[in-house]
Amino acid sequence: MLGPVTVNVVLQPAADHPELLAAPTAKALAEHAATLPLPEIQVGAIDPALADTAAFCAEYGVGLDESANCVVVAAKRAGQTTYAACLVLATTRADINGLARRHLGARKISFAPMDEAVELTGMEYGGITPVGLPADWPILIDAAVAAAPRVVVGSGIRGSKLWLPGLALTLLPGAEVLPGLGMVPGAPATQ
C-alpha cells in the first residue's frame, strides 16, 4: 500500500468513484481490475481551474517531482499517422523529437492538436491520462515515472487527479518504459 498522503486533497479508491473519472478511465479500471493494483489507485477531486500542473502542485502541496504529465503525440511515416502518449515527470520535458520519434519509427512527430487529442481519447484537455487511452496506442513512460513510489496523473477530467504507484502505469496495455524520455530542461536531446 502507498504511505500516508500529506497533500491537501481527500483521496478515495478510484474504482469506487467513477463520477470523478472520464468514462474511458473508469472503463479501463474496471476492465483491468485483475492486473492493476486497484486499492493503490486513488482519486481526489480538485478545482478544475487548477488542473494545469504548476497551478495544481502549488495549490495542493504536490511536488513537481511527484506529478507526471501525459502528452499525446502524432507520429507520421509514409502517409500513416500513429498516436501515442508520452509520460514524464513535471520536472522534465518529453524528448518528443528525438527518442520518442525514433522509438515510434516516425519520420515526423508533433504534439497532437488539442481538439484531435480530446476527440480521440474521450478525455478533457488538461486532464488526459494514460489510464483509458485507446488500446492500440503505445504509452511511452519515462523510467523515473515507472520507478516513482507514487505519482499524480490526470483522471481524464479537469476536476480530479489520480494518485498511483508508477509501477501501475507500466501494467497498462501498450505501456513501454523508455529510459531517457524525460529530459531535464536545457539538457541536450538524446542522439
Domain with residue 86: its CATH number is 3.90.960.10
Q: Tell me whether residue 140 is in a domain.
A: yes
The answer to whether residue 86 is domain-embedded is yes
Assess if residue 46 is contained within a domain: yes
Domain annotation covers residue 116: yes
Residue 155 · residue 163 · CB < 8 Å = no
What are phi and psi for residue 120, nearest 5 degrees? -70, -30
Query: Which residue type occupies 19?
Result: E
CB count, 10 Å around CB of 135? 10
**Is 111 within the bounds of a domain?**
yes
Q: What is the pLDDT of residues 93-105, one digit of tens each?
A: 999 999 999 999 9
pTM of the model: 0.91
Give me the domain span that covers residue 134.
11-169
17 domain-assigned: yes
Query: 83 in a domain, yes or no?
Result: yes
Q: Tens of pLDDT along 144-171?
A: 999 999 999 999 999 999 999 999 999 9
pLDDT, tens digit (0-9, with 9 covering 90-100), for 16-32 = 999 999 999 999 999 99
- Is residue 190 a part of any domain in this protein? no
Number of domains in the chain: 1
